[in-house]
Amino acid sequence: MKTKVLVTGSTGFIGRHFLLNATDFDIIEADLLNKSINDINFTGIDTVLHLAAYVHQMKHGEDSQYFKVNRDLALQIALKAKENGVKQFILMSTVKVYGEYTNNQIAWNEESPCFPIDSYGLSKYQAEIAIQELEDENFKVAIIRSPLVYGEGVKANMLNLIKLIDKLPILPLGGIKNKRSLVYVGNLVALMKHIIQKQSAGIFIAGDLEPLSTSKLINLIAKELNKRIILIKLPYFIIIGMKYLKPNLFDRLFRSLILDNSNTNEILHFIPPYTTKRGINEMINWYKRKN
């Protein structure tokens, strides 16, 4: 008999990929945009995979909305799931519960202290704490902390970067020696499926096997686009100016954000099935088809 999984946020980027690749489960979609929690039928559900979220906004969203959706709604669904005998609740969280960047190339792991800076990270962290308090021998809670997810259908920053590389033969992003962890959506879906199949509980970190520098990521994307690109190094004074005038952009381009998911992979006996090169190849093939 197939495991019955109720998925929230199934129309989003990650949700769509999960549905396409989770045919070994009996999937029930929960539309939280048009239904209240009381309308959701939890009867016979083994696992709730909660993907619905108010995501990090480039132009800062309403603080109250982050907490209303990411914390309060998530907790309400978890409570309902537990009341109705659901065995496992999986919360999709974020690397932002730790902060914005790692110092001195020291990677964050599952036990690293959390110091979320913005409302998105804080709302997710508070949801983690509240939902974990519901855990008992009959109700398992799994938290997945994810870095930037890329792949077919990606939007926002990664899509903007691809378009930039596709259009410009020269970019002022050479010589950047940072390290940033990413996760291909195929690897994230594989991890979620593994956690459901094992009925695992705990805090887990998603990620590809190796982090990339900004410059290396650009070169990999350019290669898949069959574009010859020249990366020039910005003068130091411009980099410093960006640090103070555009701190969010500076963090994403120049600072490191490294995750150590070796403990997650060891505990779960899990190996991400796709290389970063394969993930970028699939993403760029999708981009070429749509353009």
Residue 93's nearest CA partner among 150, 144, 17 is 144
Task: Give the dihedral of Cα atoms 76, 141, 154, 274; nearest 10 deg.
Answer: -170
Taking alpha carbons only, the member of 81, 187, 103, 102 closest to residue 144 is 187
Using alpha carbons only, how large is the chain's radius of gyration in Å?
19
The helix/strand/coil state of 7 is strand
Tell me if 284 sits within 8 A of 224, measured CB to CB. yes
Q: pLDDT digits over 208-264, tens only? A: 999 999 999 999 999 999 999 999 999 989 999 998 999 888 998 999 999 999 999
Q: Give the chain's residues under pLDDT 50.
A: 58-59
**First vs last C-alpha separation in the chain:** 42
Query: What's the pLDDT score for residue 58?
Result: 43
Between CA 40 and CA 45 the distance in angstroms is 11
* Identity of the amino acid at 178: N
Residues whose CB falls within 8 Å of the CB of residue 203, separated by 6 or more in sequence, listed in order: 110, 128, 143, 145
Q: What is the mean pLDDT of the chain?
A: 94
Cα–Cα distance measured from residue 242 to residue 245, given in angstroms and rounded to the nearest whole number: 5
Provide the CATH topology of domain 4-151+181-211+258-273. Answer: Rossmann fold (3.40.50)
pLDDT value for 57: 54
Q: Measuring CA to CA, which residue among 236, 269, 267 is closest to residue 250?
A: 236
Q: Which residue's structure tokens are 């029930």?
A: 28
The encoded tokens of residue 37 equal: 């929690």
> In this structure, are residues 34 and 10 in contact, taking their beta carbons and an 8 Å threshold?
no
Q: Which H/E stretch holds residue 89?
A: strand 88-94
Give the whole-angstrom CA distance, residue 219 versus residue 229: 8
The pLDDT assigned to 45 comes to 97
What is the structure's pLDDT at 134? Answer: 98
Main-chain dihedrals φ then ψ at residue 255, nearest 5 degrees: -90, 160
The domains of the chain are located at 4-151+181-211+258-273
